[in-house]
Amino acid sequence: MELAYLDNAASEPLRPQALAALNDTAASLAGIGANPSSAHAAGRKAAALLETARARVAKSLGADPAEVIFTGGGTDSCALALRGLARAARRQDSHRTQIVISQVEHDAVRLNAADLEDAGFQVQVLPVDAGGVVDLEAVVALDTSQIAAISVMSVCNENGVIQPVAELCRRLREKAAADTRDAQGDSSTAAKGTGSGRDSGFAIHTDAIAAAGRQEINFAESPVDAISLACHKVGGPAALGVLLARREVKIASDRRGGGQERALRAGTQDVIAAVGAAAAFEAAQQELVETTRRHQDLREKLLQGALAIPGVKLASNAPAVPGIIQFALQGAEAEGLLFALDQAGICASAGSACHTGVARPSPVLLAQGYSEQDALGSLRISFGWSTREKDVDRLLQALPSALDASRKLAERERK
């Protein structure tokens, strides 16, 4: 049975451009090894390929090549950023022991923040509204003199909601300038540069893993200090991530070793994967306008059909990228629904792929105020570069019966 693949937020199929780059690079390195840290001719060839790939990734993302750090994946990128930025800030100022995250962060951020509590940090969680958007008014209550690092995602991986990261940065830095003036009693402090702009004593990170390929990413114009990305989310190879980090921002890495990647993420780099990732990011950037238009058309078709089914509603009406849609399904449970869809050859998810096999309410829906029972009935549909109109047609054809089967199963379990 041909599959209708609608789980691209979990992982996109490998793009043809990335596959060709992987094959060509593997062939060019065959028989000579590929350790770019070696000083001999083979090592220099591998290093040249790696640095060319780094420059291509940088150009696609509006960054300088020196700001591109290859990691072991998106989770590794988030962990390196959050842990490293927080520890570096505390080393500069022992009072900076607070980490600020949003209520809807992926586990890659949330669990790493929780682990840092064991190292003496405190975690402050910014709430979201009923649409899943971070409450910017909560920024006013923060004591910015204690903040070490902030991490707020660019696009929610479950519902596609776009978070107001730029406005969050502006408010945080304005608050930091005001807090500094109040503490020193000197209204000229902000003019001197202390507590304003990027010189606020804390660093701001965003998990843009769900945004890549769905929004333009231009690091040079971004107000954040670090951005995390995952290559397989744009049709590149898995197990390779990118951390964009400004050169002036201090990161206290816990991934020490041979000094690779600005001595922040030690270990022999995967040259072949880096070249494949460069090809994927380039293609995603070049096709962004067309992808957005096509995803918008597919979204309209999906919503028109799905919302006509009783008990199906859009989980959030907040502004979102068109390629990620989350439904809240009254009376259904995701586990039974996904099984029924899978039997029909349709690949979908309840939310983050990291929670596959775990029957638990969607944490994003819970944060939005849904009850635990209602949050169990979550369905995420996500489009990618290869999604076709007939994939949506198949989902709409199968969804009513799959929902009916899920509701019957849920009713039996409740009895």
Tens of pLDDT along 343-392?
A: 999 999 997 655 555 567 889 999 999 999 889 999 999 999 999 999 99
DSSP β-bridge partners for residue 391:
none
What pLDDT was estimated at residue 198?
65
Which stretch of DSSP H or E encloses residue 46? helix 41-60
How far is it, in rounded angstroms, from Cα 83 to Cα 119? 10
Please tell me what DSSP assigns to residue 97.
Answer: -
Task: Name residue, tokens 């929670």.
Answer: 355
Q: Is the predicted pLDDT of residue 185 greater than 80, yes or no?
A: no
Please determine, for residue 300, whether its predicted confidence score (pLDDT) is greater than 60: yes
- How far apart CA 315 and CA 369 sit, in angstroms, is 11
**φ, ψ dihedrals at 234, nearest 5°:** -120, 20
Does 78 participate in catalysis according to the annotation?
A: no
| pTM reported for the whole predicted model | 0.94
pLDDT bin (cut points 50, 70, 90) of residue 191 is very low
pLDDT at 187: 47
Residue 171: which H helix or E strand, with range?
helix 165-184
- The SS3 of residue 298 is helix
Domain spanning 4-12+288-414: CATH 3.90.1150.10: yes
pLDDT tens digits along 115-144: 999 999 999 999 999 999 999 999 889 999
DSSP states along 336-360? HHHHHHHHTTEE-BSS-GGGTT---
Q: Which of 33, 59, 80 is nearest to 227 (CA)?
A: 80
- What is the pLDDT at residue 196? 35
Q: pLDDT tens, 207-217?
A: 999 999 999 99
Rounded Cα gap, residues 84 and 68, in angstroms:
16
Question: What value does the mean pLDDT take over residues 60-82?
Answer: 98
Contact 106, 206 (CB under 8 A): no
- The chain-wide mean pLDDT, for the chain, equals 93
For residue 67, which phi and psi values (nearest 5 degrees)? -90, -5
Q: Which residue has the higher pLDDT, 408 or 215?
A: 215
Instruction: Give the integer Cα–Cα distance in Å for 207 and 82.
Output: 10
Q: In the predicted model, what is the mean pLDDT of residues 94-110?
A: 97
Q: Which CATH class is domain 16-285?
A: alpha beta
Residue 12 near residue 213, CB atoms below 8 Å: yes
Per the model's pLDDT, the better-predicted residue between 190 and 239 turns out to be 239
Domain boundaries, the chain: 4-12+288-414, 16-285
The mean per-residue pLDDT over the stretch 77-86 comes to 98
What confidence category does residue 44 fall into, taking pLDDT thresholds of 50, 70 and 90?
very high
